[in-house]
Amino acid sequence: MGVEEPLPRMPQMRLDELLEELQARINAARGTRDRVHSLLEAVVSVGRELDLAQVLRRIVEAAALLVEAQYGALGVIGPDGRTLSQFLTYGLTDEEIARIGPLPAGHGILGKLIRDPEPLRLTDLGADEASYGFPSHHPPMRTFLGVPIRVRDQVFGNLYLTDKRGGQDFDAEDESVISTLSVAAGVAIDNARLYEGSQRQQRWLQANAEITNSLLSGSPHREVLELIARRAREITDAALADVSVPVAGTDDLVVELAVGADGEARRGLVVPVEGTLSGAAHRAAAPVTTAGLAEDDRYSAGPRRFDGLGPAVAVPLGTAAQDTRGVLLLARHLGEPVFTEGELEPLLAFAGQAALALELAERRSGAEQLALLEDRDRIARDLHDLAIQRLFATGMTLQSATRLVQNEGAAERISRAVGDLDETIKIIRSTIFGLRARDEDSRPSLRAHVARAVGETATTLGFPPRLSMEGLLDTDVPAQTAGHVVAALTEMLSNAARHAHATRVEVSLQATVDEVILTVTDNGRGIPADGRRSGLRNLEERARSLSGTLQIARPDEGGSRLVWRAPLAAGVDAP
């Protein structure tokens, strides 16, 4: 029996190599299959969402997972085509983002991809000549892959991926996978924008119907304006909405109402036309936008009440500069999307509703004023023809009956009743005179003078004072006393504007049976005990000249309260 010869060693080694190569190809095929499967899952995941913000978030997460990147970001290109208006990140915690500070605007490598929207791979991000460097507290990043996202042949934004896990460079296959994902992302973004636009359009239509119903039901114009501001803020996802109206006789606007961020503090603010976003829209009678309200140097005038606010738009309430009745301002938080052309069109229609609300309110107010005057004439005529005549007849009857009464006590009581009737007739006649008073009367209206003085002070104070008036001011207050009242009010408001540093001023004017009382209260720093200024001396002298008084008090909540009094009999004009 022969001995078997051993197999040659070289064929055995070749077989092992072939098996290893086969296994490698199988692994590669399996890896390719898994990657294709992952890509398909990512495409389905991205396309499943209809909310645009969620779509963008899923895109950057899917991209980072597909190429095993440690960090990822999606930058949305702004309307100017040169900077980023939105920047979403992956791989950074909220604390890290807060430490880094403001998000990128599109400089350096990010700007290079904006200017040249083609896939870009880098081995060392910091070594590239276009590198802008990293801000403080930014984590180190080396390898880089950037791919543009196109929506209907327009570049919507860019995907940025850095630091592939394992320290490897991004390769051509990574670029191909992300490029494929970017195509699917463009379709998903387009669908989300179309869906978002249709939903927004439906909400605008519902809001317009609600406003129209409010107008037809006769709601006050302020309620309609507030409804418009609230609905515009909700539909545009704005943080702040306010409505500014022109201040008569000046080049300023005043914030009539504000809802949202710091709304209470903004009400009553005086806004210059020159150097403000609302002023620019008012002057141009056209929408004006900005990517950052708080940082825009073009609109730095007026009170700075925009901390934390970014993209904003101001829409005029009217179609021509001379017909602009006000301005609707909407502002979003920092880092949120800027207002697009697609959002401005329905906003303009909405602003038209606001202008209509103001016009209808003015016309309704005029009609109501006319009806009120006619009603006053009727009441005055009825009081004169019916009430006074009946009271006079009753007084004559009682006076004649006094002679027939033998009891002295009863006669005295009848005489007092006759005196009371005479006094009642005087009061009714004074009321009739007040009801028939007109602006064209030779004697000016005290109410009108006071309202005008308070309105004019809004510019110097920076906000309109609150005004309340009570009593027969135009009939019971003599002309001489009325002149002193207006002068005293002007002095008080001037002191509040120059010295008080107040944010709230309240004016109260009251005419009682015996005296007229003017009260001005503010929440400023108060009047020092040793600070007797000339203005206060003038007020005291005016009060003393009418046998009146001036009282200075400090309310419990701070500030000052000036109470100026004058008896009504002291200022009666000589016959």
Instruction: Identify which has the larger pLDDT, 2 or 203.
Output: 203
Q: Which fold has domain 34-195?
A: Beta-Lactamase (3.30.450)
375 pLDDT above the threshold of 70? no
**Separation CA 206–CA 226 (nearest Å):** 16
Query: What's residue 409's pLDDT?
Result: 74
**Separation CA 33–CA 29 (nearest Å):** 6
Q: Cβ distance 241 to 259 under 8 Å?
A: yes
566 pLDDT above the threshold of 90? yes
Predicted TM-score (pTM) above 0.85: no
Q: Give the pLDDT band (50/70/90) at residue 516.
A: very high
Number of Cβ within 10 Å of residue 531's Cβ equals: 9
Query: What's residue 434's pLDDT?
Result: 57
294 pLDDT above the threshold of 70? yes
For the chain, the structural domain boundaries read 34-195, 214-357, 365-435, 446-571
Q: Which of 100-114, 158-172, 202-216, 337-351 has the highest mean pLDDT?
A: 158-172
Q: Which fold has domain 446-571?
A: Heat Shock Protein 90 (3.30.565)
**Separation CA 38–CA 187 (nearest Å):** 18
**Separation CA 468–CA 517 (nearest Å):** 12
CB-based burial of residue 63 (10 Å sphere; 0-12 exposed, 13-18 middle, 19+ buried)? buried
Alpha carbons within 13 A on the beta-carbon side of 374: 6
Q: Give the pLDDT band (50/70/90) at residue 555.
A: confident
354 pLDDT above the threshold of 50? yes
Instruction: Identify which has the larger pLDDT, 102 or 319.
Output: 102
443-479 pLDDT, tens digit each: 457 877 887 788 777 767 777 788 888 877 877 888 8
Q: Which of 28-32, 297-301, 423-427 has the lowest mean pLDDT?
A: 28-32
Q: Which of 378-382, 490-494, 538-542, 564-568 has the lowest mean pLDDT?
A: 378-382
Mean pLDDT of 231-239: 87
Strands of the 288-290 sheet, one edge to the other: 270-272, 252-260, 240-246, 327-333, 309-316, 288-290
Query: What's residue 1's pLDDT?
Result: 46
CATH homologous superfamily of domain 214-357? GAF domain (3.30.450.40)
Query: What's residue 563's pLDDT?
Result: 93
290 pLDDT above the threshold of 60? yes
3-state SS, 154-189, equals EEEEEEEEEEEHHHCCCCHHHHHHHHHHHHHHHHHH
**Nearest alpha-carbon partner for 215 in 363, 107, 437:** 363
Mean pLDDT of 515-522: 92
Q: Cβ distance 270 to 249 under 8 Å?
A: no
163-196 pLDDT, tens digit each: 888 888 888 888 888 888 888 878 888 887 788 7
Domains 34-195 and 214-357 share a fold: yes
**Separation CA 290–CA 299 (nearest Å):** 9
Q: Give the pLDDT band (50/70/90) at residue 432.
A: low
Query: What's residue 549's pLDDT?
Result: 92
The pLDDT mean for the chain works out to: 76
90-127 pLDDT, tens digit each: 888 888 888 887 777 777 788 888 888 888 888 888 77
Query: Strand, helix or coil at 300?
Result: coil
261 pLDDT above the threshold of 50? yes
Q: Give the pLDDT band (50/70/90) at residue 564.
A: very high
